Structure 1
Amino acid sequence: MSSTYSPVPELNLLKAFDDKTDESYAHWAWMDEFGELEFLRDTPELMHGLLGFASANGSGSLYALWKRDDRADLATLPVVLLGDEGGSHIVARNVREFLQLLGVLEADLACDEECVFERDEDEVPAQAEYLAWLEENFGLTPPEDAWDIIGEAQEELGEEFADWINARTP
């Protein structure tokens, strides 16, 4: 059995960073087991179409990759937020945008049926360390505003994702 966290190199690097960092470095909860979301087993199309990888906050919201097609490079798949309040929304067009998003969020993300929103603003003492890691590993810096990433992702993919998930939700 492989000790690799996932088939996504970017998430493997994030997991390694997460494992060695004792302090909070971004507004989110923690890395979860990578893979299909077993709680969706009653709706197999949803379970097979979403690959969970992190808890977005302490109340049950999750981040997942949306398998919108059969591409080989999973890092290019959109990242969605599955909210503990029932909503589901695109938050980044791909994993690298998601990594940038983590570096600029001012609070944990949550969502309801209508929208994505920030809540539970806490300090992130290791944020500078995370931003240095992001630059060193990917040559990326976050934009000034998290909503630039979220807005562009939703504009490009939001309707397609909403159609996809609504067609599979009982």
Structure 2
Amino acid sequence: MTDAYSPIPELNLLKAFVDATNEGFTHWGGLTTYGYNAFFKDPELIERLLPFADADYQGSLFALWRFDDQSDLAAVPIVLLGHEGGIHLIARDLREFFRFLGSLDCPIACDWQYVFYEEDEEAEEPAAREEYLAWLDEQFGLFPADDPDDVIEAAKAEFQERFDAWMFTRFLS
């Protein structure tokens, strides 16, 4: 038995960063129990959507979408499960998701039609943002996306048709 947060080395590196900084570094709710899914009853949904982070403080989640039996879970798309409904592709893989997090300047939310940003002019920059950006560069040689929507659009371009066929024809029809 291992004490690792997850079976994904990249996600374990993020967990170590979060634990070491103990400060907010982006606009999200933070890591949650890896793979814990109390929302779905269908065994396939439980097996294929693996939550790993709270997207906000209201119940929205980020989850890995295991669309096939690929063993490298860092290479599967990330989805946003909205607390009031909606499910959207967010990133093509975990590293793109890290770039996405680095580019957020306000919290993210969704409904069934759209992903949107909850802009708050009074919100302060997260205390550990610069540390996160340095970590992102040191660990992966990555920088935040210029625009978080670019990450979302790349994920949709690559996976939307397949995702819709899986999710909406099987579970939400």
Shorter chain as normaliser: what TM range?
over 0.9
Question: Matched residues in 1 for 2:110 and 2:161: separation?
Answer: 16
What letter is aligned with 1:168? Answer: F
Supply the distance in 2 between the matched residues of 1:56 and 1:20 (Cα, whole angstroms): 20
Residue 168 of structure 1: aligned partner: 171
Pairing 1:23-42 to 2, within 5 Å after superposition: 23-40=23-40, 42=41
Q: Show the counterpart of 2:148.
A: 146
Q: Give the CA deviation at 1:49.
A: 0.8
Q: CA RMSD, aligned part only?
A: 1.3
Question: So what's the TM-score if we normalise by structure 1?
Answer: 0.94
Pick the aligned partner of 1:131 from 106, 130, 133.
Answer: 133
TM-score, normalized by length of structure 2? 0.93
Counterpart of 1:60 in structure 2 is 59
Other-structure match for 1:51: 50
The 2-side partners of 1:33 and 1:120 are apart by 27
SS, match of residue 39 in structure 1: coil
- 3-state DSSP of counterpart to 2:35: strand
Amino acid of the structure 1 residue aligned with 2:167? I
The letter for the 2-side match of 1:91 is I
Is this contact kept in 2: 1:89–1:162, CA < 8 A?
no
Question: Residue 50 of structure 1 contacts residue 64 of structure 1 at CA under 8 Å; is this kept in 2?
Answer: yes
Q: Which residue of 2 aligns with 1:11?
A: 11
Equivalence for 2:78? 79
Aligned length in residues: 169
SS in 1 for 2:143: coil
State the identity %. 49
Q: Which amino acid aligns with 1:147?
A: D
- Map 1:84-163 onto structure 2 (within 5 A): 84-119=83-118, 121=120, 122-123=123-124, 124-163=126-165
Provide the rounded CA distance (Å) in 1 between the counterparts of 2:129 and 2:70. 32
In the TM superposition, what whole-angstrom CA distance separates every residue of 1:59-80 from its partner, at most 9, and x where no partner exists?
1100000000011111000000
Code of the residue aligned with 2:165 in structure 1: it is D
Contact 1:104 1:143 in 2 (8 A): yes
Alpha-carbon deviation of 1:156? 1.6
Structure-2 separation of matches of 1:163 and 1:58: 30
